[in-house]
Chain A
């Protein structure tokens, strides 16, 4: 989890030009860090490449828009990292 967070935080910092020290596991990508949907696609591209996975962004967005899931579930970084770990584990299983 911590190494996943370090990688994700580094990606966000570099992609969105956000100081690394502002990014914490409790940060909400949208509400706290001000990342918009286009910038999040940039992050997803870098995350997909770094971890060899495919973040199901369209599915997540649809679930949030339809009220089936709270945005925090996907866009708070510790939750995002847990999902990344899950996708990596599913890939290697």
Chain B
């Protein structure tokens, strides 16, 4: 994870196209400017960044399923629950699955665990829009870097 760059997902470990499900890994860095404020002397990953992490895993799932034909933008966060603190060095497993595949939107259920214990979960929704021209190549590079392309090909 590079929190300050919003690069929340390190690798895609499973992309299940038939089951419309993804599993990703992310290791929280030992140091980040984020921890200087949240909180001084008591570093914790903010809940909003855990939500972003679930959103990114869900977004990569949508991108893998639609083969980067439409860009998912987060539009709703429902039933978000944060069940434990996440400290520097934590190894996170992020899972997301499609719950509704609508016309122009997608809904997912996502969760994060660490050491097998629940960290947080939420129901997320994304607006699907034509790919902004400046984002297409960037997202292709990013999905390739985290292994989504390889994961998609192997499923």
Using a CB–CB distance below 8 Å, which chain A residues touch chain B? Answer: 38, 41-42, 44-45, 48-49, 54-59, 61
Contact = CB atoms under 8 A, between A and B. Distances in A.
Contacts of B75: 38, 41-42
A41 B104 contact: yes
A41 B100 contact: no
Given A41-B127, A45-B125, A61 B100 contact: no
Interface in B91-134: 100-105, 107, 125, 127
Contacts of B76: 42
B107 to A, nearest CB: 6
Contact of B102 (A38, A54, A59, A61): A54
A48 B102 contact: yes
Nearest to B107: A45
Interface of B: 75-76, 100-105, 107, 125, 127
B104 A58 contact: yes
User: Chain A CB within 10 Å — which of B101, B104, B107 has the most?
Assistant: B104
Top 7 A-B pairs ranked by shortest CB distance? A57-B103, A57-B104, A58-B103, A58-B104, A41-B105, A56-B103, A48-B102
A57 B102 contact: yes
Given A38-B75, A41-B75, A54 B125 contact: no
Contacts of A49: 100
Nearest to A41: B105
Nearest to B126: A41
Nearest to B102: A48
A41 B104 CA distance: 8
B71 to A, nearest CB: 14
Contacts of B102: 41, 44-45, 48, 54-55, 57
A45 B101 CA distance: 9
